[in-house]
Structure formats: structure tokens, C-alpha cells
């Protein structure tokens, strides 16, 4: 098994639902980050790219027909460069990075572009075909923006509740209070705003052609626990989860350059981080928010590491309650190491993009600090996915890729 490296990573600023990126097609968002990634490595011949792998959670609209291939073509890559699209819902972008790393590790590829994209603003309505021809009644359109639709009646009702309702149950189980959720949400906005103001996110960001968005649009620097406390529960009347302590709906794309030692040398690339191990886990669908705990445990076990060995963690903030529940299962982890530049509550959560954004942010940070880090997400319908990276500043490593 070859060692695998993240040579570079780039993402768009993340747009709000109906906001600055709503007029940009998802295939154009994806093509933009692919092109930006290559422009940042002028010594790289695009024809040498073995594959383009992108994650997308929807696939029902303009991201249909294999958005990975569409992005490669729209970015101007040679037609000889293939492309694929993968779907692991919220972790689709990270799944793409992991699949690219596996291909490189086993020698099936030397240079892969991997990432993810989602335009939740442009997610279409879908109209299922009727069970019989020429129906007389009205038909129903279903939104594909988020969550369950066209549910199989054989699926147990408890598994198909909304993500918010499922997280309310998780919060109750772990005793996560409304006050703790609002405090954490305010922290996310504060740290994300600080990261942009200090330039910490500039190296990983490329502007979107035709848009004047220069930062993550959902960040609200004036967010406070006191202000969040005034918001009403979003899912149950007596609940604790609100629009303020949940991730918003967003648009964005991210791409990473995944390669081996030969690829680094041939194209004059300096790695940001090395891929160490991965972990994927399934949990009860209603407990989807705790999925990262099990995935991270697998990834750390394969890397022969513990939580105490980690320098930083990028944990997707689907909900503050979900983050706090995971952290309750990680007593050996310093909470200040989690999302030090803010997370999805502030930055945003464009589903198919988010996993790649987390991996890219992690790789850039570890390139500066060294050490080990984890990128991980919970996944609707009960899964978790994790990736362990080692920064280029670190001198010791774990051989191989899992």
C-alpha cells in the first residue's frame, strides 16, 4: 500500500440558501473549484489526472448525469480524464476523498481530484410517476432540498422522523440543554468570524466566477447566546433545537488534490497532509448524530492512535446538540481542539460539499501545525464517516492507508 497525500485543497465561500450563490448551477460550482485547484498548481499537466471523484447528496436537478464528469468537462480538463459521483448523504464529499485515497493507495491511480458540491438553493421539486395511467386526481411535488421524500412504506416510522426530531431525542438522551446548545452555536459564529478576519481561511478559498461573495455568507459575528435564546424551537413545541443552534441550508463546493509520493515529485507538489486511516460506521437511524463517535473509534484504532494523540478535530456541526452529544462520548478530547475556526452552524452545510470542506480545512491547518487530526461527519439514516490525517509538520507517521 502506497502512502497517500493531500497536495492541495480549495473551496468556495459558502452561500446562504437563496443567497449569493443561488444563481450558480451546482455543476458550475464544482467546475470552478476543480479549475481553481489546477490553477494553483501550474506545473501539473491536467491530462495526467487519473480520475475526478465528487460527492453530491441530491442528484435530482442540475447535478444529475454524474456531476463529477460534468465538472471535469466544464473545467476544461481533457476528455480523457474520467469522472464519477458518489453519495453518502452529508458525508458525500468526504466519501469522495476516501475513495480517491484508496485508489491511490492500491496503485490504481497516482493523481485524483476529489471533492463535493451541493446547491440546496437550486434543489428541484420532483414529481413521481403515477401508479396507473391517466390519473384524474391532483399530483404532489416533493422538495429535494433536505430530508426524507418518497419514503418506502416498509421503513419503520421511527427511522424516518426528521433530522431535527431525531436530534431532539439525542439531546434528551445525553442531557444536552438549550443553554449549552446556544453557547456552542455562538462559539461557532465567533470562531468562524475570527478565522476570516485573521486570514486563516484565505489559503483554502477560491472565489466563484460571477459572484462577489468573499466570505461564508451565513456567519453572523453579532450572534450571542442571549440572542439565540429568544428563538423558538423548530421541531417540537417543548424542544431545545432552533434555527440558531442548527446548521443552515447552503450552497458550495470543495476539491482536493490526492496523490502519492511519485505524483508529488513528478508535478513539483508539496503535501499538506498524509492520509493515515479511515473509519465508517452504521448506527440506529434515529441516533444518526452519534455516528462520528463510532467512525472515529474505528479510524483511530486502525491508526493505532487515541483521542489524546489528536492536535485538532473537524466535526461537522449539523446541530449543536449532536456535536455536544459526540463530545460527551469523548471525555479524553480537549473540546477546544474541535472546530477551532468555527463549524457548519456558522460556516454552513451544503450537504455534498461539507465532508470535502472539512478534509480541506483540516489538511491546511495540519500543514501549519503538524500532528494528527480527524475530519468526521454524522450522516442521515444512521452512519458516521471519519478520516485521520497527519500534517506535514509532523516527523512521525503511521505507515499505510486503511
Catalytic residue among 189, 267, 294, 349: 349
Nearest 5°: phi and psi at 370?
75, -175
Catalytic residue among 90, 189, 294, 326: 90
Residue 87: HSE in the Cβ half-sphere, 13 Å Cα cutoff: 12
Helix (H, G, I), strand (E, B) or coil at 272: coil
Neighbour count for residue 107 (Cβ, 10 Å): 10
Is 267 in the active site? Answer: no
d(CA 75, CA 63): 15
Q: Are 381 and 399 in contact (CB under 8 A)?
A: no
Q: Are 399 and 3 in contact (CB under 8 A)?
A: yes
Is 326 in the active site? Answer: no
Interior/surface letters 272-287, b for 16+ CB within 10 angstroms, e for the rest: bbbbbbbbbbebebbb
d(CA 66, CA 72): 10
Angle at 314 between CA 35 and CA 341, to 5 degrees: 80
Q: Are 95 and 86 in contact (CB under 8 A)?
A: yes
d(CA 127, CA 134): 15
d(CA 174, CA 305): 26
Residue 171: HSE in the Cβ half-sphere, 13 Å Cα cutoff: 26
The dihedral through the CA atoms of 304, 307, 313, 317 has a sign that is: positive
Nearest 5°: phi and psi at 135?
-70, 150
User: Looking at the annotation, which residues are catalytic?
Assistant: 90, 349, 378
Amino acid at each position: 500500500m502506497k502512502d497517500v497525500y493531500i497536495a492541495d485543497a480549495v473551496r468556495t465561500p459558502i452561500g446562504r440558501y437563496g443567497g449569493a450563490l443561488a444563481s450558480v448551477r451546482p455543476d458550475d460550482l464544482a467546475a470552478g473549484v476543480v479549475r481553481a485547484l489546477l490553477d494553483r498548481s501550474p506545473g501539473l499537466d491536467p491530462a495526467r489526472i487519473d480520475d475526478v471523484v465528487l460527492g453530491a447528496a441530491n442528484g435530482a436537478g442540475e447535478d444529475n448525469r454524474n456531476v463529477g464528469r460534468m465538472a471535469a468537462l466544464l473545467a476544461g480538463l481533457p476528455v480523457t480524464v474520467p469522472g464519477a459521483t458518489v453519495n453518502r448523504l452529508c458525508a458525500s464529499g468526504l466519501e469522495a476523498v476516501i475513495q480517491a485515497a484508496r485508489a491511490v493507495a492500491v496503485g490504481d491511480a497516482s493523481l485524483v481530484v476529489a471533492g463535493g458540491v451541493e446547491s440546496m438553493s437550486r434543489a428541484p421539486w420532483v414529481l413521481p410517476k403515477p401508479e396507473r395511467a391517466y390519473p384524474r386526481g391532483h399530483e404532489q411535488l416533493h422538495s429535494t432540498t433536505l430530508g426524507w421524500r418518497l419514503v418506502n412504506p416498509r421503513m419503520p416510522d421511527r427511522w424516518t422522523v426528521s433530522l431535527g426530531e431525531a436530534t431532539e431525542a439525542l439531546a434528551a438522551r445525553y442531557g444536552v440543554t438549550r443553554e449549552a446548545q446556544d453557547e456552542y452555536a455562538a462559539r461557532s459564529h465567533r470562531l468562524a468570524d475570527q478565522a476570516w478576519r485573521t486570514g486563516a481561511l484565505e489559503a483554502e478559498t477560491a472565489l466563484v466566477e460571477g459572484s462577489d461573495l468573499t466570505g461564508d455568507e451565513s456567519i453572523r459575528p453579532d450572534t450571542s447566546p442571549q440572542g439565540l435564546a429568544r428563538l423558538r424551537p423548530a421541531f417540537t413545541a417543548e424542544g431545545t433545537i432552533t434555527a440558531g443552534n442548527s446548521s443552515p441550508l447552503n450552497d458550495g463546493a470543495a476539491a482536493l488534490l490526492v496523490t502519492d509520493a511519485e505524483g508529488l515529485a513528478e508535478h513539483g507538489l508539496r503535501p499538506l497532509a498524509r492520509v493515515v486511516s479511515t473509519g465508517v460506521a452504521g448506527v440506529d437511524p434515529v441516533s444518526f448524530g452519534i455516528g462520528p463517535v463510532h467512525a472515529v473509534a474505528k479510524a483511530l484504532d486502525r491508526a493505532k492512535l487515541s483521542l489524546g494523540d489528536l492536535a485538532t478535530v473537524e466535526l461537522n456541526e449539523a446541530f449543536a446538540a449532536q456535536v455536544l452529544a459526540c463530545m460527551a462520548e469523548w471525555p479524553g478530547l480537549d473540546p477546544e481542539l474541535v472546530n477551532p475556526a468555527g463549524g457548519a452552524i456558522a460556516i454552513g452545510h451544503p450537504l455534498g460539499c461539507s465532508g470535502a470542506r472539512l478534509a480541506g480545512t483540516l489538511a491546511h491547518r495540519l500543514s501549519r501545525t503538524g500532528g494528527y487530526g480527524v475530519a468526521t461527519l454524522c450522516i442521515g439514516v444512521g452512519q458516521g464517516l471519519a478520516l485521520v490525517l497527519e500534517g506535514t509538520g509532523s516527523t512521525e507517521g503511521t505507515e499505510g492507508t486503511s
